[in-house]
Structure 1
Amino acid sequence: MKRRGIKYLPRKAILIIHRYSLKYSITTSPYMNEILKGLSKRYRVYYLSYSSEGEHLSKYVKEISLPFKLLRGDRFLFLKSALFPLLIMLKLINARKIIREKLLLAFCDDGLPYYYYIVKKVIRTKTIYRMGDHMIGYLVDPHKNFVLRVLYDVLFTLQRLTLSTVDNIIVISDYMKEYLILNGVPESKLIVVPESVDTKLFESNAIEQERLKSLRKALNLQDNIVLLYHGSMVSWKNLDIIVKAMKLVTKKLPNIKLLMIGSGPLMKYIRSLIDRYNLAKDVILLGWIPYHEIPLYIALSDIGIVARKKMLANDFVLTTAFLQYISMGKPALVPKLKTLVDFYKKFSLCQYLVYRPDSPVDLSSKIIRTIHEIEEIKKHIKKAQYYVRLNYSHDVIMQLMLKVLNAIIEN
C-alpha cells in the first residue's frame, strides 16, 4: 500500500550520454527533450554530459555533470571532445554511487568515436551507440593522400573493432549503413534513424511579419536578395567557396547579401577573405544566435546554402540545417554529396540546387539561376517541404527512436 506523500520511482534506469547539456543537445538532436520525457514514463532516466544548465524536464530525469561547460562554437571544443572519453570513464567508475536503480541501457547519443567502448566495458550493460557523424572521416580525409589513407584505415579499423562490442548502432542514413556493412560491421546491429527537424519551431507560418520587417531594417537589407548560411565554421564545410562565389555573384547582382550565422575555427579566415575581396558590405557575419531565433533568419532569407567539402564523411549526412530550410519551404543549395543528392532526386531539384563542392564558379552560377527561376523551383520545394514535415519531423523521429529503444530494452 502506498503511503501518502511518498513518490515511488521506477526501479530500472536508462543512461543517456552526450557531450552537450540538454540546452545545447537539442540543436543536434531536436527530439532529445521528447525522448527523455517519453522514457521517463517507464524508467528513471539519467543524462550525462558536460556541465548542465539545470533544465530538469521531469521529476524522473536526473542530470549528471562532467567538469566544464561545453558551448556551441566553444574554442576548446577539440580539447574537451578529446577529454570526453576519459572523463566519462572516471564518472562511470563511480556510477553506482549515482545510479541506484538497475541500469538497463546506456544510450551513447554523441557521434564521437570510441567512448561507447569505454561505456560498455565499465558499466557492463546493454549499450547503444548513435553514429550521428563519421567523425574520423571529418578529421582524416582518406582521399587526400596516401598517408592520410593509411591513417584513416588504422583509425577506422579501431572504430570497427570497438563498434563490434556494442549491442546496436543507430545510423543516420541508408548510405552510412551500407558503408559500415561493407566494412565488416554486422548488419544485425545496425538500425537507421534519420536526422530530424523541429517542424513546430521551423514553421514559416509561425513567423510574425512585424518581426521580419524589424530584422530586415536592423540588418539594413531593404529590398536585397538574401542568402543564408548557418552552422559551425569548421574545415570540412568549405565556407571559402561561398565567399568566393559571392565575389562573382555580386558583379552580376549587386543587390544580393549573404548572412552567415555561426562561428568556429574558420571564422578568422572567413573574415580575411571578406576583407580581401572587399565584400564587407555584401557578407554579414552574425556569429552564433540563439537557436530559437534561427527560424526568423531563415524566413528572412530567399535561398539557403549548405556548405560541405567533397569527402567521405559528408556523403552520409542529410544535414540539420538543410532540413530546417526545407521545412520552412526555402530552396537550399547543396554540394554534390550522395545523401543530399539522393534526396533532391526525388523532387527533380538536382539541376537547380546541386553545386560542385569545390567550385565557386559553379555555386555562383547556381545562385544566379535559382534567383532567376525561383518560382519554378518553389513548386518542387513545396513537395519537398511536405515530405520533410511528414517524414523528418522531430515528433515522427522521436516516436521511431522510442520504439527502437524500447524494443532493444525488451529484447
Structure 2
Amino acid sequence: MDDRDDDDDAYAKLVRRMNSPRVVIENDACEHATVIQLDTVYRQGTLLEVVQVLTDLNLVITKAYMSSDGGWFMNVFHVTDDDGNKIRDEGILNCIKKALETDAYMVKSMGKMLLSKEHTLIELTGTDRPGLLSEVCAVLTDLSCNVVNAEVWAHNARAAAVIHITDQSTGTAIEDPRQLSLIKELLYNVLKGLGDYRTPTVSISSPGEIHIGRRLHQMMFAARDFERPVSVDDIRVRPYVTVSDCPDRNYTVVTARSVDRPKLLFDTVCTLTDMQYLVFHGTVITDSDEAYQEYYIRHADGLPMSSEAERQRVMECIQAAIERRVSEGLQLELFTDDHFGLLSDITRILRENGLCPKRAKISTKNGKARHNFIVTDVSGNPVEPKTIYLIRQQMGQTVIQVKGNLSMSPKFPQETPRSFLFGSFFKCPSFQNSRLIKSLS
C-alpha cells in the first residue's frame, strides 16, 4: 500500500514537471510594451491567478490574448510600468518569470494578506451613507482597536471594508471572546442605520490567507451592489456591456467597452471566475484611454448561458466590477507619523467638512501612516477648493498630496498635483463619542 502511494506521488510530481508553465518575456516584439507569453495546463482559475500576479506586481496590461485548446492555455500580455514604459529592470523581469513559472497549483500572489496571531481581520458590508467610515473608526478607537491596514469600497449605495486591527495595549490580535463580541455588536449597529431594509454583515476572520481585491469584489457582489438604486439620478457614462450567444461554438460572448484604468482586466476576470464561468478565449485591447474586452465563456459545467435573465445579470455584474474602482472624486494622499486614533481623527475631519470617502486604502508601517482617500461631497459632486484649505487648517501639520480635478479654482491647475508639506500630524485627542457608544450598546 505504501509503495503504491509512493508511486502515485512520484507520478504526480512527474506530470507537474512535464506540464509546468512556460514563460517567455520579450522587449523587442512590441514597440511600446514588454510582451509576456505564458503557456500552461488549463484548469479553472488559472487565468485569474496569472492576471492577479501581474496586477500585484503593479504592471499595466495594455493588451491581452487568451486561448485554450485541448486542455492547454496560451496567454499573451503586453505590459508596461505605471509611466507607460517597457519593463527593463532585470530584477523585475526575473521576478515576473519566477512568479509565473511557479507550479500552476501553487501560484502565490503578493497581493494576498497573510493573517497571523498578531492581527485580527474584520470584514464589513452595509448601506453606504455620509459619515459611515468615520463612525466605524470612532467605534474601533473607543474599543481600543488600532487600525493597521484597511481597504474600503463604496458603490451603488453599498459599502464593503476589510480592516486589519490589533489591540492597542498589546499590539497583537484580539483574542478575548467578550471583546470580539462587543466589537461585532457595535459595528453591526453602526452599519444597520435607520430604515435600512438590507441586512449588514460583520465577520471576524480566523488566521488564513486572502487577496484583498478579490475579497472586496466578492463582498460587494454578495451585497448585490450590481443592482441600481431606483431613487438615484445617475448621469454618469456607464460601461457598455453586451452578452450574446455564439451557437456554432457553444459559447456565450461577453464584451465590454469602458474607460481604461489599472487593474481593469483583473476586476473583470475576477468577477467572471467567482460567478463560476470559464474563460476559453479572450481579447483585451486598450487605445488611449479606452478599453475593449471580449470573452468567450461557458459555465463550469461546460454549458453556455440559457436565459435572458442570466445574460442580464452577467451584464450588470460586469458593469459593477468595472465601476467599483473608478476614481470619480478627488484623491487625497496623507503621509504622516502614525499614532493611536489617527484614522478616527482624519475621518472625523473629512466628515465635518462634508466629504464622503468613496474608496480608502489605509496602511501603516514602521511608525508611519500613508492613507489614500477618494472623496466627493455628500451629494457626490466634486470637492470645492476651499474645503481642502479648511481641512489643511484643521489637520495641522501633515503631508497632503491632492490629485484630481480642482480646476474650479485658478489656484489649483488640474495638470499640476499639489503637495503640502508641514511635518507631522497635529496630535489632537482621539475622537471619543460616548453618546454613540452608549446608543449602540
**TM-score interval, smaller chain:** under 0.3
Identify the structure with the greater helix proportion. 1
TM-score if structure 2 supplies the norm length? 0.22
Question: Which has more radius of gyration?
Answer: 2
TM-score if structure 1 supplies the norm length? 0.24
Identify the structure with the greater strand proportion. 2
